[in-house]
Amino acid sequence: MSATVCIYKGRASSAIACVVALSFYLAMTMTAALAASATDIPANDPRTIAREHIETELAHVGTSVSATLLPSRHDLSDCANPVAFLQSKKFNANGRLFVGLQCQGALERTVFLPAQINVQGAYLVATTSIKQGTLVTPAMLEVRKGELTSMIESTFSEPSDAIGKMAARNIERGGIIKRAYLQQALLVRRGQPVFYEIIGSGFRISGRGEALQEGHAGDLVNVRTEGSKLLAGRLSPEGVVKVSF
């Protein structure tokens, strides 16, 4: 594109027209430059393919996942038709993992490139001090968003995952609710009266008995009925022993 030259004879209208023309020229020049730079990276650039593969495969771990390929000794200039893969979707506390690249062409080979992951997402904090042994309620929780890379495996993202569980230790107000801090609430204790339901094809029998051991939701619990019969079933979240036939 040839240079644009504005010449005016001291009139305001001519000056304005000149400025408009120059602005249009500069805008077109910048657009062309950006378009040219976008084509500098081939569509099958190995590092781009590796980065995009990581971000796609790990998209489920947070609300936003970004990957950066770290410097590597591998020369990828002859890596034709690269195919990226992850041997494991796990990354360490520092957000590091390796992504594999299968290179085709004259020199077929597989290389592994180091990458840095950054995960943004939701986590739970305590709105009040929670004492050990307390059952967690919705009012005790607040959802916050931030950087999760170093604690993605240890936190809750949904309040429903923590509500109803029991604090295994004291949790300070404002503290992050970690999975290790909560445990399933003890629903029945040994010797405690418990309700049971016997469920079969076309029938349902309810009764009351005595729990022969303590149990959490999902545990297999033995029950002695009021008629001294022994039953075994899974403890429901409501504290009822479900016996299936």
Q: What pLDDT score was predicted for residue 2?
A: 45
Q: What pLDDT score was predicted for residue 232?
A: 94
CATH number, domain 120-183, options 2.60.40.1890, 1.10.10.10, 3.90.1210.10, 3.40.720.10: 3.90.1210.10
Q: What pLDDT score was predicted for residue 4?
A: 46
Distance CA 127, CA 130 (A): 9
The DSSP bridge partners found for residue 115 are 69, 97
What global pTM score does this model have?
Answer: 0.60
Q: What pLDDT score was predicted for residue 35?
A: 46
Token output for 15: 């000056």
For each of the chain's 245 residues, which pLDDT tens digit applies? 444 445 444 554 455 555 555 555 555 555 444 444 444 545 689 999 999 999 999 999 889 999 999 999 999 988 999 999 998 888 888 899 999 999 998 889 999 999 999 999 999 999 999 999 998 999 999 999 999 999 988 999 999 999 989 999 999 999 999 999 999 888 899 999 999 999 888 899 999 999 999 998 889 999 999 999 999 999 988 889 999 87
Angle at 46 between CA 44 and CA 50, to 5 degrees: 110
| CATH annotation of 186-244 | 2.30.30.760
Q: How far is CA 128 from CA 87, 97, 165, 166, 185, in A?
A: 42, 37, 16, 15, 19
- The single-letter code of the amino acid at 41 is I
Distance CA 214, CA 139 (A): 28
